[in-house]
Amino acid sequence: MSSIIGEPGEKRFLLGNEAIARGLIEAGVGFSAGYPGTPASEIIDTLLQAKHIGKFEYYVEISTNEKVAYEAAFSACLAGVRSFTAAKHVGINVAADAIATSAYIGTNAGFAFVSADDPNCWSSQNEQDNRWYARIFGLVMIEPSTPMEAKEMTKIAYEISEKVRLPVIIRTTTRVAHMRGLVELGEIPSTIKTKGKFERDISRYVVVPANARRNHKLLLDRIETAEKISEESKLNFITSTSGALKKKLGIITSGVSYLYVIEAAEKLGVGVDILKLGFTYPLPRRKIVDFLSNKDAVLIVEEVDGILEKEIKAIAHENDLRIPIHGKDLIPKLYELNTAIVDGAIAKILGLPYSPYSVQIKAPDIPSRPPILCPGCPHRATYFALKMALIREKIKPEDVIYTTDIGCYTLGINPPYQMGDLLLCMGSSIGTLNGLAETTDQLIIALIGDSTFYHAGIPALINIVFNKHRAFVIVLDNRITAMTGFQPSPSTGLTGMLERTKVVPIEDIARAIGIDYVSVIDPVLNINDAIEKLQESIRQYRIGKTVTIISRSPCALYNLRVQGYTGKGGVYNIDSGICINCGVCYKQFNCPAIQFDPEQNKPFIRSDICTGCGVCMDICPVKAIKRADKSV
């Protein structure tokens, strides 16, 4: 049973993301859409799970990308239905064009969206601080600190949105999204509105320049209203720690940083006043001035950028408050914060004998464990087949550049394949191929997954045809969005709500837009056929053809869940009497289920993690790997 389903008053131990999903249900949200991306993925996943189990009437979908998800959800609110979308911080970049103009149009029903930031780059290519977006576009922003706050603030977001008629950003971070805490469940509306009506209003909804200029004035008026609400909001409050050492030090903070502040002050035994900002844009200026007015010094604790620091220093200057305000002079601009860092900052201001790095726990000496493709992963077979094809076509490794993309297959950058030389963002493998193919004589091979291809790869592939660039693109189609939790993609044949739908064949798209040579391979079921077809594709490329290869084989872990086996299925053993320890299976192919026994000086297959793909049997040069059963 979904952890968010229960009666009012019951308590659940929820992830922050699960708490947001429960808050959406309690808020009566009728339309939700999103594209998976850590640390935001579990919100839409939880809504989908709860819908299946709890028979809720709301609609929820996994969209092809974040821009589409935002446009769908925003338009639903214009039809009078409370709506929602969620994305990780870089996913918000994808939707930014739509977000900017939605602020000019305003909302009809409540509309909120999660921007889940990732300090420390736990699963992302940058640490960007999306609090800037509220300032750039003129949107309301709130920031929860705990799962319970996440649920309650989600409901409040819809109240705010409907008062000011603006989208509301719920900004979380990885730590808030993935921490667990007790959450008391609230009331769920007896009915959830999922249908409304769109009333034509061209001067508002069609944002041509004349209308945009008028709408901009309305946006500024709404932000003024939002600032008044911020001043009175219970999301902004002052609390104090009860330490014996009383100091007139004020601390202003938001989000998960608030928890570090509380813990640090209590650990130091210091009694300080804390202004906890939950409604962080527009800021409650009067409340901030009142808080600053009787302090000897102020510390602003925030991740990552010094956004609050800059704005609060400006407020202090405008109100002639001449007190020391510390922030990024003591708090790092990089990575996640922790209690020790905040301890040190407070101690330095108060002259206490403490260093933020004086208390460290030495990590035990353990072997490094780099991330690796799973046993049976079809991407490994694709990389092996490509490597063999290049060798057979006498192409030197130094003459090939691999533009890679976001997904499990990014792990191809690691030895022994080392196929990944450039990565910017979703879909950039094909986008960067466009430029490199035109400016170098090297062979450029773009590697991209199926979900990423649908997300942002198609326009770049069209650009190849349109601008007559040389192209060699391999789409690694494992039929699912595996990296973020097995969400369906347009190649799966299922929607997020597990309804049957049409598969959108990637090869049909490639042929329709004019790619010259299109071929489909399955390197798991037939590695030798895959190698031969890749060789042929290289020959086609050499005579000037644009090439797209679809390497289609289901994700091993997903296949195990669905049908209990992957690839050919069965159990495989290595005959040590035949094996010559050439290393092809465990060094070149690099399957983690095949390990080396130093006593026998031979490799062996771990049956507990082998998924039965059978590729090792096909690539063994002396046929030492054999199937030990006949089952499928």
- At 153, the amino acid letter reads M
Q: Which stretch of DSSP H or E encloses residue 519?
A: strand 517-521
How far lies 168's CA from each of 139, 163, 229, 281, 556, in Å?
Answer: 6, 11, 13, 10, 39
pLDDT for res 244 = 65
Residue with tokens 């030495």: 362
Residue 419's SS3 state is coil
CATH fold match for the domains 11-232 and 378-564: yes
Residue 630 confidence class, pLDDT cut points 50, 70, 90: low
**98-108 pLDDT, tens digit each:** 999 999 999 99
CB 620 within 8 A of CB 572: no
Q: Angle at CA 119, nearest 5°, toward 65 and 452?
A: 20
**465-484 pLDDT, tens digit each:** 999 999 999 999 998 888 88
Give the Cα separation of 329 and 227 in Å (integer): 28
Give the Cα separation of 311 and 304 in Å (integer): 15
Question: Any long-range contacts for 220-224 (C-beta under 8 Å, 24+ apart)?
Answer: 220/138, 222/106, 222/138, 222/164, 222/165, 222/166, 223/138, 223/164, 223/166, 223/282
pLDDT greater than 90 at residue 498: no
User: What are φ and ψ of residue 401, in 5° steps?
Assistant: -115, 130
The two three-digit tokens of residue 10, written as one number: 């019951």
**553-592 pLDDT, tens digit each:** 999 888 888 776 677 888 899 999 999 999 999 999 999 9
pLDDT greater than 90 at residue 606: yes
Residue 379's SS3 state is helix
Helices 458-466 and 506-513 cross at an angle (nearest 10°) of 30
User: What are φ and ψ of residue 351, in 5° steps?
Assistant: 70, 25
pLDDT greater than 80 at residue 361: no
**569-578 pLDDT, tens digit each:** 888 999 999 9
Mean of the pLDDT values across residues 164-179?
A: 95
pLDDT for res 632 = 43
Sheet arrangement for strand 279-281: 59-62, 31-34, 83-88, 111-117, 168-173, 140-142, 279-281
pLDDT for res 427 = 85
**272-293 pLDDT, tens digit each:** 999 999 999 999 999 999 999 9
% pLDDT > 90, the chain: 67
Domain boundaries, the chain: 11-232, 236-350, 378-564, 568-632
pLDDT greater than 60 at residue 356: no
Give the Cα separation of 107 and 104 in Å (integer): 9
Give the Cα separation of 540 and 113 in Å (integer): 46
pLDDT for res 362 = 67
Fold for domain 236-350? Rossmann fold (3.40.50)
Give the Cα separation of 326 and 193 in Å (integer): 47
What are 547's strand-pairing partners? 472, 517
Give the Cα separation of 36 and 451 in Å (integer): 10
pLDDT for res 359 = 45
- At 328, the amino acid letter reads K
CB 446 within 8 A of CB 472: yes
Q: Which stretch of DSSP H or E encloses residue 281?
A: strand 279-281
Question: Any long-range contacts for 261-266 (C-beta under 8 Å, 24+ apart)?
Answer: 261/301, 261/342, 263/339, 263/342, 264/339, 264/342, 264/343, 264/346, 265/241, 265/346, 266/241, 266/242
CATH of domain 378-564: 3.40.50.970
Residue 110 confidence class, pLDDT cut points 50, 70, 90: very high
Out of 245-254, 350-359, 431-440, which region has the weakest mean confidence (pLDDT)? 350-359
Cis peptide, bond prior to residue 8, ω within 30 of zero: no
Mean of the pLDDT values across residues 31-42?
A: 92
pLDDT for res 358 = 44
Q: Which stretch of DSSP H or E encloses residue 180?
A: strand 180-184
Fold for domain 568-632? Alpha-Beta Plaits (3.30.70)
Among the residues of 367-501, which ranges form H helices?
378-392, 428-439, 450-452, 458-466
CB 4 within 8 A of CB 58: no
Give the Cα separation of 29 and 319 in Å (integer): 41
Q: Which CATH superfamily is domain 11-232 in?
A: Thiamin diphosphate (ThDP)-binding fold, Pyr/PP domains (3.40.50.970)
Residue with tokens 């301890």: 343
The two three-digit tokens of residue 155, written as one number: 């409901």
**218-257 pLDDT, tens digit each:** 999 999 999 999 999 999 999 988 876 777 889 999 999 9
Mean pLDDT, the chain, whole residue set = 91
Q: Is the dihedral of CA 443, 448, 454, 459 positive or negative?
A: negative
Mean of the pLDDT values across residues 360-367?
A: 69
Q: Which conformational region is residue 595 in: left (phi greater than 0), alpha (psi within -120 to 50 degrees), or beta? A: beta
